[in-house]
Structure 1
Amino acid sequence: MKDLDQMYIPTIDDMLTAHERIKPYIHRTPVLTSSFLNDLTGAELFFKCENFQKAGAFKVRGASNAVFGLSDDMLEKGVASHSSGNHALSLSYAAGRRGIPCTVVMPRTAPQAKKDAVIGYGGRIVECEPSTSSREATFAEVVKETGAEFVHPYNDPRVIAGQGTCSRELTEQVHGLDAVIAPIGGGGMISGTCLTLSNIAPEVKIYAAEPEQADDAYRSLKAGHIIADDAPETVADGLKVPLKELTWHFVSNHVTDILTASEQEIVDAMKLIWKRMKIVMEPSSAVPLATILKNNDTFAGKRVGVIITGGNVDLDNLPWMNS
């Protein structure tokens, strides 16, 4: 991995260019509210529903920006990446729209629903063991074999610029926000949120939400440097990966705080949103509400944007089925 001084840090102009580039390939997702959840938390919550996004997740924004920004001479060998699910299927979606090959390395334990989606979009899966070290070693072999363009799931300026378009839409849809909160794993969505809000709405506080059992970003922020866990176990399968240099740049400079929730709190919040808002979401997307419920003094009386990052859940293996 390159040091930050060797990497391009995306700008607000990159985000604006990305938004124009990807508009034909994404949804402008709705913002939903719940008076029940407002009463429960004491805050006004505005849920930006990326679970209704193309490919079922916000990651189609960054993937589409990377794929449709490729020059013609880079297309023949296609693109490749590693991902626990949503980036894999989003990159497969974008590559399919541009008619180029896509290979993704996925942990063998990734949800079947996400593997099925990758295949459905025309992507090729190479499986690895469920650890960061196995993922990166397997991926090195894939790149050697294919020569494909690497589109990192989050430590990529093209991807971060694309993810930043979500917060741009949110600020256009809801005025006067006091805070925005989103899940954090590798930090792509949070970095895009930081990129956009620090430029167009610097008064808005940015919070990240993380599982207690995969709290390396929380510990990194407290320590002042990246702390990476290799293979954490959490129901929030999309949040198991560590921060990298580029996402750490945005997190360390712009995130107000990182809040954590237990496994049970995450599942309870997921059930609550399913019951009260009638929308399908995956466990990773429930972590922000779980942390708001746990830290309601922080958010009471505030107008809070909550990014629901994805809806690609395995309906045959919901987290409360075996509890």
Structure 2
Amino acid sequence: MDSITANNSIIHFNKNCYTSLNKHIEESDFSKIFILVDENTHELCLPILLENLETSITIEIIEIESGEINKTIDTCVGVWNTLSDLDADRKSLMINVGGGVITDLGGFVACTFKRGIAYVNIPTTLLSMVDASVGGKTGVDLGHLKNQIGVIDSPDLVLIDTNFLDTLPTNQMRSGLAEMLKHGLISDVNYWNKFTDLSKLSLDDLDELIYESVIIKRNVVTEDPRENGLRKTLNFGHTLGHAIETYFLGNENKKTLLHGEAIVIGMILAAYISSELTNFPKPERDFIKKLFISYYGEVVIENQDIKPILELLKYDKKNSHGNINFVLLEAIGKPKIDCIVEESVILDAFNYYAS
């Protein structure tokens, strides 16, 4: 697969990954290399990276705990302090090896340490390969509120080695699939149609589907790097999906949902709202619901859960001028941004999901 240029980043795939990384390190005169991992990627992925690194530059490993619950400023402070203790300077390189938590947090740490050091993302989950590591968004959560603090600043390189997917459990693969499904719904009916019967897909198809998904996101973020217009379409399903994810994360009586699991619910709700407000065809709406529930199952959202979920909508980062802005669909591949939705329609959407 050919490498892809996205704004100031170059995205390399599989056999090109480590050759490109070694060349970049050789040409850039870095003083030290810091590799950020969690306990899972330390064990399963770091050995592969170190085996392929060809450099005499000092390498330091920094490990943080895995999980969205650790994607916080406090974790950043720990990493910043470690960088300082290990004499990192402005010519240091940070390599982030992990899923979306690692690439989001590691990118933010790199962009803010000494007002910015170079960084490289090596996503190891399907979700981070097709979404989190591409586009230059970095950041951390504020309490249980997702991605409230961050900057947009691209990594030097993104290295997508799909061999890392062999380390993932099934639920993590499904979580990443949700973002690929979203890419089809907002941009390309032909791409969407490839996912409507997963039984026809083999693992050999996965690399090509990942590649297409990265191109879809690359095209969007290249046209709108600061999320002033088109890039908002990538938030389809995320307005309610993020609120649901946040609510379940912060409620000890609820099972924590993976990002993709929550976004799937958000997309079903957004498809219903679209059918009510933007004339999205109801047969396609119903097909989306049936397909997604067949892949992900149904999550029980009780009536008493809905009000606190709606309260969380006010923190959505797409909001402006006091309005909660949704991304809806007029047709598959034809999204509409900045849609204001009455609460009664949102409540009807939850009833539709549960019906």
* TM-score range for the pair, normalised by the shorter chain length: 0.3 to 0.5
Question: Which structure has more RCO (C-alpha within 8 Å, separation ≥ 6)?
Answer: 1
Greater Cα radius of gyration, structure 1 or 2: 2
Structure with the higher helix share, 1 or 2: 2
* TM-score, length-scaled by structure 2: 0.33
